[in-house]
Amino acid sequence: MKKIFVLVLIIIAANIFLARTLKYKNFLFDNSDTTAVLHPLKYMSTEDEMITTILQRYHYRKFKLDDSLSNVIFNRYLKSLDNNKSYFYADDIANFDQYRYQLDNDIKDGNLTPPFKIFNVFKERVNERLNYSERILNKGFDFNKDEDFQINREDAPWPKDTTEMNDLWRKKVKNDALNLLLTGKKWDDIKTTLSKRYENLRKSIMQYSDEDVFQLFENSFTESLDPHTNYMSPITSDNFKIDMSRTLTGIGAQLQTEDEYTKVADIIAGGPAFKSKLLHKGDKIIGVAQGKTGEFVDVIGWRITDVVQLIRGPKGSIVRLQIIPAAEGANSPPKEITLVRDEIKLEEQSAKDKILNIKNDNKDYKFGVITIPAFYSDFEAEQRGEKNYKSTTRDVKILLDNLKKEKVQGIIIDLRNNGGGSLEEAIKLTGLFIKEGPVVQIKSSDGSIRVEDDPDSSIDYSGPLFILVNRFSASASEIFSAAIQDYGRGLIIGEETYGKGTVQNLIDLNRVMPNSGQKLGQIKLTIAKFYRINGESTQHLGVMPDIQFPSAIDPKEFGESSEPSSLPWDQIKSTDFIPFGNIKKYVPELLKKHEERIKANDAEWNSYIDEVNEYKNAHNKKFISLNEAIRKKEYDEQEQRRFERENELRKSLGLKLLKKGELPSADDDQKSDPELNETGHIMADYISIVG
């Protein structure tokens, strides 16, 4: 079937290539004679139409490439270039408006001239803005003046003229300078740092190739269908293969570009960043230094590939990062963290267990906690016939046996920050806790539905079971959690999960168009959706916990529901399955006890709530002061609150109190886990109720 699929695509490609060559020579250009103005290259027209054909035939969403979708693609492309409305003028947007409802026809015809014209204007505007930034930086600023800077301009109007644009950028540069001033830098150092930063940004944009622009536009098209359908240029595709093989040493973080910043898109389970607990999703990396004493290189405005090269390095070597933590807001003072590069090995992603001792209502309880960072399986070792190949289910089975020997009274499966992985392992893992039956339904783009069953009729553990999740629990984590919840086998505790209930397939365009004469990229497209055994989709809404904890993450800002193009939640027919029990009947009483407990003066829980509220307040801020005294007071008060909160928590846990400016160690952080501890208390309540 796979060979037939590829053969059909090759035939389609050949027909398109012939038609495009004969019909559209008039607007195809070669870029070899200039670097100032970018044009679509000859092969891109054919590649564009090949991508369109694949999407129309095989994408899960049966879409119409019409004026409505053209409008969405147009807006997404502008956002990919100027997300904060800081470069284009209102007049520019008015001029581009001629393409708003024409892009659908251009995509069908392989006409890529409009997006390249828009990008070339963008390059001009970047140059203008950075020239202006350099001029006003030389003049200096009055940091005693009371004025505000708008942090997020996503909903703001486009600047109408040069005066308005200049005022916007004067405040932007002033804010950049004030951020450095508040870290103790002298003015000459600030000027040097910002001059280099702006020049790096200029260099980054000016180095954009024709292929970069093509990728930007194609992704504006593909991601208008759903956020997990992407086009990867040849270089992006090569980097993707490196990330998937995980053979290079580094810090174990997947990075992306947001405006001029390098942002942490994901933390890879088992890597240095994951182990350290110092780097998190959403953090922005603004500086990189080598070794213990190397000088920091400001990387704001750098191309993502160049930042990655700085961060990668030999195993065992030290890299220091300056970051703006996502939890502290976009304009918080940068933090410095130190990581030791290492290879990311399968063993380090393995499930791990520990004992959680809880005193609840003056009674002692002993629970087993199994942390699963990812759903993994060593497929190659399995295919070689190795008996002891590593997999999530095999490892958890061993851990369960060990914990049963420890005579634990219940098991907590910790899936926080588990972004998914092997579907087969999610199914097999569910089978350790249920006797038999369906685990997940998969609906393909042709409407056919496949039911995946537990392959093992035995139960490895039948005692009390809780699953702890957060907003970063996704995909396979959601399949497992949903099945446990639907069977009534255990309770789900924590935050609403991510909501990724779709399946992707990767197509190498070089195999589809082998005679193109060019190295082509890859397309990752959504081909199916996951459904719970009760018929509900895990898509968009994720899995709702039976007992929900406060979350710093706004679903409108992070997760599947934050993406306007995400596939909708829907429902299909329920499968036949026999529930394990009616554990939900205990939820009202458990919730009551939970609420009574957190109302008490619990230092650990109060610290957790304070952090959640502080994060929300920072992210809800739309304007910040450009007055040095006001900003310094805000920073000092923020740092004092954190210092007092940390020491209050450490005192309650019996840990050594910190001195001003001293950071807690990673080991200390692991001792304080309010979400896990409260989950333990809820499990203790459950056991006392059930008897």
Rounded CA separation 518/516 (Å): 5
pLDDT of residue 544: 97
Asked whether residue 304 falls in the same domain as residue 364, the answer is: no
Same domain, 257 and 205: no
Find the mean pLDDT for residues 432-444.
Answer: 96
Quote the distance between the C-alpha of residue 633 and its chain's center: 33
Q: What would the two tokens of residue 317 be? A: 């070597």
CATH number at residue 333: 2.30.42.10
Structure tokens that stand for 458 in this block:
């035995």
User: Are 254 and 402 in a shared domain?
Assistant: no
What are the Cα distances from residue 606, in Å, to 598, 609, 678?
8, 5, 12
d(CA 336, CA 333): 10
Q: CA-to-CA distance for 378 and 362, rounded, in angstroms?
A: 45
Domain contains 330:
yes
Same domain, 467 and 392: yes
Answer whether residue 400 is part of any domain.
Answer: yes
The answer to whether 277 touches 666, Cβ cutoff 8 Å, is yes
Q: Does 122 lie in the same domain as 30?
A: yes
In this predicted structure, the answer to whether residue 16 has a pLDDT above a threshold of 50 is: no
Question: Residue 664: what pLDDT?
Answer: 66
Residue 621 falls inside a structural domain: no
Query: What local confidence, expressed as pLDDT, does residue 3 receive?
Result: 40
Mean pLDDT rounded to a whole number for the chain: 87
CB 453 within 8 A of CB 470: no
Task: Determine the Cα angle at 114 with ends 64 and 214, to 5°.
Answer: 80
The dihedral sign for the CA sequence 686, 486, 605, 678: positive
Establish if 8 belongs to a structural domain: yes
Name the least confident of 346-360, 535-549, 574-588. Answer: 346-360
Query: 280 falls in which pLDDT band (50, 70, 90)?
Result: confident
Cβ atoms 554, 619 nearer than 8 A: yes
Residue 512: inside a domain? yes
Among 225, 259, 277, where does a domain finish?
225
Query: Same domain for 9 and 50?
Result: yes
- Which of 598, 624, 649 is where one domain is finished? 598
In a domain, 466, yes or no: yes
Regarding whether 125 and 111 lie in a shared domain, the answer is yes
Distance, in Å, from the CA atom of 390 to the CA atom of 399, rounded to the nearest integer, reads: 13
Specify the range with the lowest mean pLDDT, choosing from 130-139, 259-268, 357-366: 259-268
DSSP state of 31: -
H/E element holding 401? helix 392-405
Residue 16 and residue 51 in one domain: yes
From 340, 370, 393, the end of a domain falls on 340
CA distance 172 to 166: 10
Give the residue numbers marked as catalytic. 475, 486, 500
Answer yes or no: do 181 and 300 share one domain.
Answer: no
Look at residue 141 in the predicted model and tell me its pLDDT.
Answer: 95
Whole-number pLDDT of residue 13 = 41
Nearest to 305 by CA among 207, 246, 239, 208: 239
Which of these ranges, 166-180, 248-262, 483-497, has the smallest mean pLDDT? 248-262
102 inside domain: yes
pLDDT digit string, tens, across residues 193-209 = 999 999 988 988 998 99
Structure tokens, 255: 């990075």
Tokens of 354: 């520990």
Residues 6+ apart with CB under 8 A from 518: 43, 47
Predicted pLDDT at 668: 57
Q: How many domains is the chain built from?
A: 3
Among 334-338, 503-507, 534-538, 582-586, the least confident range:
334-338
Question: 467 and 553 share a domain?
Answer: yes
- Does one domain contain both 262 and 137? no
Q: Are residues 31 and 58 in the same domain?
A: yes
Mean pLDDT of 212-235: 93
Q: Is the pLDDT of residue 29 over 80?
A: no
Length of the chain, in residues: 691
What are the structure tokens assigned to 59, written together?
């994408």
Which structural domain range is residue 384 located in? 346-598
Is the residue at 618 inside a domain? no
CATH code (residue 520): 3.90.226.10
